[in-house]
Structure 1
Amino acid sequence: MLLVAYDNAQILDIACPSGALDIANRYGATPPYRIELGTVGRRPATSSAGIALAAGQRLETVTGPLDTLMVVGGAGYEDAATDPHLVTHVRRLAAQSHRIVSVCTGAYVLAAAGLLDHRRATTHWGYAAQLAARHPTVAVDVAPLYVRDGNVYTSAGVTSALDLTLSLIEDDHGPTLARAVARELVSYLHRPADQAQISMFLAAPPPGDRLVRDLAGHIAAHLAEDLSPAALAARAGVSTRHLTRLFSAHLGTTPARAVRAARTEAAAHLVRSSELSLAAIARRCGFGSAQTLRQAFVDHYGMPGDRIRRMPDMPRPRTPLPRETPVP
């Protein structure tokens, strides 16, 4: 794998894939992954965290065939996407690569090289609208954690690179090795590609009770699944009555209301940051229909989805989000 970096790259975009592949090698990946970092002129890439990373490869002299070409993202993506030398060599090397991958805003570099034209792609939700406006031939889908279109893979923000890399390891070596790598990383095997990027639980303080905290994470990660009080209680191994007490004490709301709020806020983010239809957003976020989602928007925000889409900022909920409350 050749990782393409530049100044002000996000260090996690580099560390997540390279770390996972290194562990795969230690667990016996055959053939092993060869991981290289390449830059224009083989210059060190100073990450946005201020840590300088030495490049092992000069992009100008790298030739294929390559198994995987991966372009990372980060705060320097604008300069990278407008650097003619970087873009030219990414385009050249992509033609000699078995698969082409971007992490987060690395999608801007692939788009600048013409590698996403007429393809479905994703990037970090906060940068998706700009990518779509700048490159109208790219079908930007902000919802998934990562997207595969042919031999081109794009992923959302930072840690989604780990999910994508685990998926690549599974494709290359099977699920047993991918599970071993995930265990070593103390991670889930990998989140599914179509899991929503955003949930209100990312913005809320974590509940103090471990069971409620684990269920909150489960809700955030599985918005389209069965999240009824009975299903959540069964997952936690408690009665629905006890589950309601726990949610009331630690989140100040009922399980059903917490789920509805999580789904509604995730849907609102998708309405604002994507061109997906209301019906598609409803399906991704666990609503039975577009009409049900419309009513949820009115109940939660006091306005319909089309007005939310036109607003310059996210609207405030009519009622406060679930927050931890003191236990009597």
Structure 2
Amino acid sequence: MTDKKQRTIVIVVPPKAQPLDVSGPLAAFREAYRQTNGEIQYDVRTLAAGVHQQIDIDGMTMIADHALSDPDFPIDTLLVAGTHDYHQAFSMAAFHTWLRRRTPGIRRYGSVCTGAFFLGAAGLLNGKQVTTHWQQAKELAARYPQAEVFPDSVYVQDGALCTSAGITAGIDLSLKLIEDDYGRELALKIARRLVVFLRRPGGQSQFSAHLAAQMAAESRIEAVQRWVLANLAQDLSLPVLADRAAMSVRNFSRLFRRETGGTPADFVELARVDAARRMLEDSETQLQRIASQCGFTNVDLMRRAFIRRIGINPSDYRQRFYT
């Protein structure tokens, strides 16, 4: 372990915050004390993103330890929790000012889920690589075009800035920060206590959620999608899929895009990459066999699909995520 000095962790709680965005990181950092018999202690505090300490958070009321109006105190790590009502971020000028004033003196700062919108509104995402909940990633990129948004990552660290994906990914980010401070062994103990995986590495996760979100409500399209998922090694060209739906290629393509927001080819590639991803995580099967079983003509085509969809090649993915 590195030095054992107490580090002050502040979780900023905006109005209507998602409880797990607050309690997940809080539990991870506080568990360090119990897992080391008091040798390591994070001083974890909550701070209301307004002048009052009382905050409504998604059906509950909490009293934060601090409010923006309190006198300054040293902060080692600052995380802004997310909220379903993240559009309030654009009008919280006092909070923006506070963030711009405090973050230069903080060792690391960041966000959980849609907390990234508050950082963006304060101008702290410009020129940075970031992530957020996959459902809001496109909007985050549109609102803050100077940021590079990674929609499929569990978390992203860019210098002092650390951002995580949706909700439970805040625990993954917290475990990563604990590992940075005190090593993998402590992070593993905490993960076991919280009954979570020792942090999913940053590039891994939101992927399957994207695939699930593209499932159509229209029965003919959904039936084709489910057939695709069950027959990845088959010919899944556009004419074959259109014939499966008993439609012309043109009508099938138009209806598919209307129902899913993407093309049939995009869905097929996502499905094949997702299946290959799971095989790489769970088995030692050779890459050529994985490519064949998942419908890729050869390993090179699978490699290009992985880089396009996930950002790393299959060999590197296995090295990082094989369990």
Distance 1:190 1:287, change over 3 A: closer
Query: Are the aligned partners of 2:307 and 2:313 in contact in 1 as well (CA < 8 Å)?
Result: no
Which structure 2 residues correspond to residues 301-316 of structure 1 after superposition, within 5 A? none
Does structure 1 residue 132 correspond to structure 2 residue 138? no
Does structure 1 residue 155 correspond to structure 2 residue 155? no
Find the aligned partners of 1:229 and 1:186 in 2 and give their Cα distance. 23
Task: Determine the structure 1 residue equivalent to 2:33.
Answer: 25
Distance 1:33 1:54, change over 3 A: same
Task: Determine the structure 2 residue equivalent to 1:44.
Answer: 54
Q: Which amino acid aligns with 2:85?
A: G
Aligned with residue 94 of structure 2, among 78, 81, 85:
85
- How many angstroms does 1:224 deviate by? 7.5
Task: Determine the structure 2 residue equivalent to 1:76.
Answer: 85
- How many angstroms does 1:42 deviate by? 3.1
Does structure 1 residue 16 correspond to structure 2 residue 43? no
- How many angstroms does 1:97 deviate by? 0.9
Q: Which runs of 5+ in 2 are unaligned?
A: 1-8, 216-272, 297-303, 316-323
TM-score for the superposition, normalised by structure 2: 0.65
Aligned with residue 113 of structure 2, among 104, 117, 123:
104
Does structure 1 residue 226 correspond to structure 2 residue 253? no
Aligned partner of residue 38 in structure 1, secondary structure:
strand
Q: Which amino acid aligns with 1:6?
A: P
Find the aligned partners of 2:25 and 2:64 in 1 and give their Cα distance. 16
Does structure 1 residue 164 correspond to structure 2 residue 173? yes
Q: Which amino acid aligns with 1:280?
A: I
Find the aligned partners of 2:139 and 2:28 in 1 and give their Cα distance. 30
Q: Which amino acid aligns with 2:277?
A: L
Aligned partner of residue 191 in structure 1, secondary structure:
coil
Query: Are the aligned partners of 1:72 and 1:103 in contact in 2 as well (CA < 8 Å)?
Result: yes
Sequence identity, in percent?
34
1:180-217 deviations in whole A, cap 9, x for unaligned? Answer: 1011011111101110303168679xxxxxxxxxxxxx
Which structure 2 residues correspond to residues 286-297 of structure 1 after superposition, within 5 A? none
Does structure 1 residue 281 correspond to structure 2 residue 308? yes
- How many angstroms does 1:96 deviate by? 2.1
Task: Determine the structure 2 residue equivalent to 1:181.
Answer: 190
Count of equivalent residues: 235
Q: Which amino acid aligns with 1:80?
A: A
Find the aligned partners of 1:228 and 1:54 in 2 and give their Cα distance. 44
Q: Which runs of 5+ in 1 are unaligned?
A: 205-218, 233-239, 241-254, 261-276, 289-328
Find the aligned partners of 1:287 and 1:31 in 2 and give their Cα distance. 38
Find the aligned partners of 1:130 and 1:191 in 2 and give their Cα distance. 24
Distance 1:162 1:279, change over 3 A: closer
Aligned partner of residue 46 in structure 1, secondary structure:
strand
Find the aligned partners of 1:283 and 1:177 in 2 and give their Cα distance. 29
TM-score for the superposition, normalised by structure 1: 0.64
Which structure 2 residues correspond to residues 251-270 of structure 1 after superposition, within 5 A? 256=293
Query: What is the alpha-carbon root mean square deviation over aligned residues?
Result: 3.1
Find the aligned partners of 2:143 and 2:191 in 1 and give their Cα distance. 36
Query: Are the aligned partners of 2:52 and 2:67 in contact in 1 as well (CA < 8 Å)?
Result: yes
